[in-house]
Structure 1
């Protein structure tokens, strides 16, 4: 079977029983189960959630997005072989470690297939919880132009590109468009300070002021746990994004959990430690693909300038990437996943058929 057939590019057309439209993001698609199926699975599988908790099937694709566009390859390869399985495996590994170390639970209840999660519905905190241990990327670009205030945190003069910061910085941004918050623009993904969050905690969907401390504690502990684990395999954890939400357990107690994905090459920068010590950056994350795109096209400003979004969209649609490029990205994703988990990432022969068979035979969720 060709490599293109092993790629799950379309993940919003599975015959999973649902009475709601499929919610499809850049990489994942979410199928909300019927109330009857949710209750049945909770009872049959013994999930630690409230009996009436809404459940969903979350299917990850092998699509790759960068600069807010989906990129495709030659020969019908509309994604990166092994990428979805690698991302899920890494997230599963860290979420399990968080739970075992007593940090917090995640939204994942079950993993029927390497590309599939069964999740409980969480009420998300409207923050992209970004934390940075090194000054690079967008923060460096802003710093090099003279900016020193980042989310209310003042950085000193004299920092160098890719330098380790004096402390772990929490630089949150808005998740979605929030309205009516003084001093916070009504736009997605704008930086906010801790003072902004404290003064408007209910607008950010925190239950109370104390939970701001809880989210920061979970963020720091989660970051440090991943950072220490990566250091043991010769990798440097540079920066990442966490997301949080509220769920209820069997006893109907509300708790703050980790959600979305965590510590993956899509949501984080990961550098090879030995190369960094020798003054060279070797990316083991999506940042390497971003840099490749910036070098691949003659006018990189199209990819960096939000005012040129129509040109950027056309660039992604009109330019199929060489198979060698996507396979290089595949090697990066599967390689770091295997280092982190200690297990081989196996490419499914026919991912869609496998998923349908498992969800039908073991979960009775296929119409």
Structure 2
């Protein structure tokens, strides 16, 4: 087996039976099942959802993106070995922990393969729910320039880089481009306040104003659960992004759930505890990859300056990153996943063949 064979880079060309276009994002591809297949699987597998619930196969890739570009490495590595399996295992683990603690369910119904979820259709809330326990990254850069108000929250004077904040902060941003909302720019990923959401809760996809309290409660409780469990491994949960949505429960009622991914190195910053106490930040998340890129290329402004996007895209397209750098990222993802989940993460050897085989034999979903 070559190293490149273990990487699932293209994940939108699987022969999964569907009557709708395949949606492919930066990392995951979604295959909506036919109504007949959805009903059949709900019945055969006894999924706890109404029998007419639309289902999808969600396939995660090993691609790695940073600064809005997809990067590749030497030896034809079109992604990071084990990255997809690490992300899926972490998310699935935390989603299960949330459900066991009675917080809320997720959209996942089944895990046929380390790179595959079967999910129920959810209507996403149009809020990127971001929690911050330390001041770092973009918040620190803005604070250093004199900004003190973030998403309607005023920070005190005298904070220092990477310091623990006085309290856990919720700093939401928009998910997608929302129009005709007073005080909210029509652009993706723009900071918003709780008052913005309260005044326009329906436009943000909430079914009631009281669900804003529920989303904040689930966000804080989910963050605290992950933070406490990682602390037992001497890992610091610095900040993260959650996403929420609504599904129809078995009883026919709508309910708010966790969705997308949670607590992963892609959606969170995680620091090594020992290093932090010794005055040094060691990233156990994708931030380490971003920092590597900034030091690897002679002109880091290309990666940071949105006005130089064509140069940035050419940089990613025309430069194979060193194999060692790619494997360092692989080790970071697999190590933190193994610690969080409590078992060694196995890297699929021939992921595409494995996925097709199991979806054919056990789910009858291959054309």
1:232-274 CA distance string (max 9 Å, x none): 0010000000000000111101100000000000000000001
Instruction: Determine helix, strand or coil for the equivalent of 1:76.
Output: coil
Distance in 2 separating the partners of 1:148 and 1:310: 33
The answer to whether structure 1 residue 58 and structure 2 residue 54 are counterparts is no
Moved over 6 A (4+): none
Distance in 2 separating the partners of 1:150 and 1:308: 27
Alignment of 1:221-236 (within 5 A): 221-236=221-236
- Could you tell me which residue of structure 1 aligns to residue 325 of structure 2? 325
1:13-33 CA distance string (max 9 Å, x none): 000000011100001000000
The answer to whether structure 1 residue 44 and structure 2 residue 44 are counterparts is yes
Instruction: Determine helix, strand or coil for the equivalent of 1:222.
Output: helix
Tell me the TM-score normalised to structure 2 length: 0.99
- Could you tell me which residue of structure 2 aligns to residue 14 of structure 1? 14
1:143-172 CA distance string (max 9 Å, x none): 101111100000111100000000000000
What's the offset of the Cα at 1:347? 1.4
- Could you tell me which residue of structure 1 aligns to residue 91 of structure 2? 91
- Could you tell me which residue of structure 2 aligns to residue 362 of structure 1? 362
Distance in 2 separating the partners of 1:224 and 1:24: 32
- Could you tell me which residue of structure 2 aligns to residue 295 of structure 1? 295
Instruction: Determine helix, strand or coil for the equivalent of 1:346.
Output: coil
Per mean C-alpha deviation after superposition, the further-off stretch among 343-352 and 77-86 is 343-352
- Could you tell me which residue of structure 2 aligns to residue 272 of structure 1? 272
What's the offset of the Cα at 1:305? 1.5
- Could you tell me which residue of structure 1 aligns to residue 155 of structure 2? 155
- Could you tell me which residue of structure 2 aligns to residue 80 of structure 1? 80
Which structure 1 residue ranges, 5 or more long, are not aligned? none
Tell me the TM-score normalised to structure 1 length: 0.99
Instruction: Determine helix, strand or coil for the equivalent of 1:182.
Output: coil
Instruction: Determine helix, strand or coil for the equivalent of 1:72.
Output: strand
Instruction: Determine helix, strand or coil for the equivalent of 1:228.
Output: helix
Distance in 2 separating the partners of 1:211 and 1:250: 20
What's the offset of the Cα at 1:354? 0.3
1:29-60 CA distance string (max 9 Å, x none): 00000011011111111111121111000000
- Could you tell me which residue of structure 2 aligns to residue 195 of structure 1? 195
- Could you tell me which residue of structure 2 aligns to residue 345 of structure 1? 345
Distance in 1 separating the partners of 2:52 and 2:69: 37
Distance in 1 separating the partners of 2:10 and 2:322: 20
- Could you tell me which residue of structure 1 aligns to residue 125 of structure 2? 125
Distance in 2 separating the partners of 1:324 and 1:275: 22
Distance in 1 separating the partners of 2:286 and 2:80: 12
1:74-112 CA distance string (max 9 Å, x none): 111100000000000100110000000000000000000
Instruction: Determine helix, strand or coil for the equivalent of 2:354.
Output: helix
Equivalenced residue count is 367
Distance in 2 separating the partners of 1:248 and 1:217: 21
Instruction: Determine helix, strand or coil for the equivalent of 2:9.
Output: coil
The answer to whether structure 1 residue 207 and structure 2 residue 202 are counterparts is no
Instruction: Determine helix, strand or coil for the equivalent of 1:237.
Output: strand
Instruction: Determine helix, strand or coil for the equivalent of 1:243.
Output: strand
1:186-231 CA distance string (max 9 Å, x none): 0000000000000000000000100000000000000000000000
